[in-house]
Amino acid sequence: MNDEERRRRGTEKRREVLGDEYVAAASGKATKLTEDFQDLITRYAWGDVWSRPGLDPRIRSCITVAMAVALNRPEELALHLHGALRNGVTVDELREVLLQTAIYCGVPAANSAFRVAQDVLGDLPAT
């Protein structure tokens, strides 16, 4: 696969997970400084890894949410909580992922993650 095919596939997957609005905004904010980074993310994160058949998007979302907690990346956590919902992860499943992070990432990390999740998920019904 060449870079153009990787970019096309990555753009499709990124839009599928994060939504057209987010991807358009992220692409629209690209500057001379950041455009190569946006291209890198699109081709490799989305075109190569997220598009692989080995894990379904729900599993990839759960893993990504947990890693965002572990790395203390609240902006990425908020973004990928939205993406997880788009990928069919339920609010109940997200709660379980966050509870799991309390054990393996620490209670303070999970505490912060639950605050972010409350802001993002609000009063969405548990499912």
The predicted-structure confidence for 74-113, as pLDDT tens digits, reads as follows 999 999 999 999 999 999 999 999 999 999 999 999 999 9
**Residue in the block written with tokens 């598009």:** 51
d(C-alpha 78, C-alpha 84), whole Å: 10
Whether the CB-CB separation of 127 and 90 falls below 8 Å is answered with yes
| Residue 65 confidence (pLDDT) above 80 | yes
In the CATH hierarchy, which fold is given to the domain comprising 57-121? Answer: AhpD-like (1.20.1290)
List the helix and strand counts (H, then E) for the chain: 7, 0
Residue with tokens 């997957």: 13
Amino acid letter, residue 78: A
